Amino acid sequence: MNWKTKSRAFRVINYLPLSQQILYRLQRHITKEIPRKDYIFKRLLIAAKKIKDEVDNTRKTSSPAHYVEIGAGRDLALALALRMLGVEKITCIDLFPLAKPYLIQKAASYLSKELSVPLPSLKTFNDLKEFGIHYVAPSSLANANIVPNSVDVFYTTDTLEHIPRDALRLLIGDISTILKPQGLCINFIDYSDHYARSDHSISPFNFLQYSEQEWSKHNTPLHFVNRMRHSEYISLFLENNFSILHISSEREKPPENLAISQDFQEFEIPDIFTVRAKITCQKPG
């Protein structure tokens, strides 16, 4: 779908009552994005293994761990994968109650086969809680009643880029509050124009051509991206006294005719054209 057509559709849906429910039905019955395809589950399983390996190589204790995720989505696939990989307790938090048991069960079915572990029966959210995953929605991290200094690992995947800059600054402070001393914060971040996922006629850097005012009409709450660049995330973590333990990033070459907006002229070229990264931080001990 042409990205401007999709942008207009998001603007219309955003002003309708029950916009999240309408979006769900469109994604399920029209665009067929729901349920997720197996290749996406495979990608999330790879991310879960990276998180688990990094934690196992960093944590000094073998005691049961408590992980927290925000933006867990409709099927909680990443949390399911981590639980099947041996994580004892996971709390999943979302601003909207998006998760649905039939989608959770589908994700669990794929993951259990890939990992050769028994398939849990997750027909209700109570089943999910008994399995070791506590789903909290609607809620923010600040309002989820998590005891300060009680969490071993906080993680996200493709979530932070959807949070406005000022809210993200507050969130990172909240992450620091809930983490134990030396707790880990692991985030996969997608810096690309998300419209490019479905419109292959544009590059991942399409949105960098527009000023903030110009882009605002395309940046609806249902498809919001903050357009922050890689260095800005690192700066926010450092401002909150996190230590950066590890960064892996991917860059892509921009199209030759790309004209970068003045809003992004202050950034170094490698910073502008980083499309994805995994940033692992640690709270001071």
pLDDT over 90 percentage in the chain: 97
For residue range 154-165, list pLDDT tens digits in order. Answer: 999 999 999 999
Query: How high is the pLDDT of residue 60?
Result: 80
User: For every residue of 179-199, which 3-state class applies, written as one string?
Assistant: EEEEEEEEEEEECCCHHHHCC
45: buried, middle or exposed (CB in 10 Å: 19+, 13-18, 0-12)?
Answer: buried
Q: Report residue 233: phi and psi, to 5°.
A: -65, -45
Domain residue spans of the chain: 37-191+228-282
Tell me how far CA of residue 238 lies from CA of 232, 247, 281, in angstroms.
Answer: 10, 13, 9
Cα separation of 235 and 241, whole Å? 10
Q: How far apart are the first and last CA of the chain?
A: 49
Instruction: Say yes or no to pLDDT of 62 above 80.
Output: no
What is the rounded average pLDDT for all residues in the chain?
A: 96
% pLDDT > 70, the chain: 100
37-191+228-282 is classed CATH 3.40.800.10: no
Give 278's strand partners: 188, 248
Residue-level pLDDT at 38: 96
CA 285 vs. chain centroid, Å, equals 26
Which tens digits make up the pLDDT trace of 241-285? 999 999 999 999 999 989 999 999 999 999 999 999 999 999 998
In which residue are the tokens 């660049």 written? 229
Q: Which residues pair with 92 in a beta bridge?
A: 69, 135
Amino acid 3: pLDDT: 96
Sheet bearing 151-157, strands edge to edge: 133-136, 89-93, 66-70, 151-157, 179-190, 274-282, 243-251
Q: What is the pLDDT of residues 114-164, one digit of tens each?
A: 999 999 999 999 999 999 999 999 999 999 999 999 999 999 999 999 999
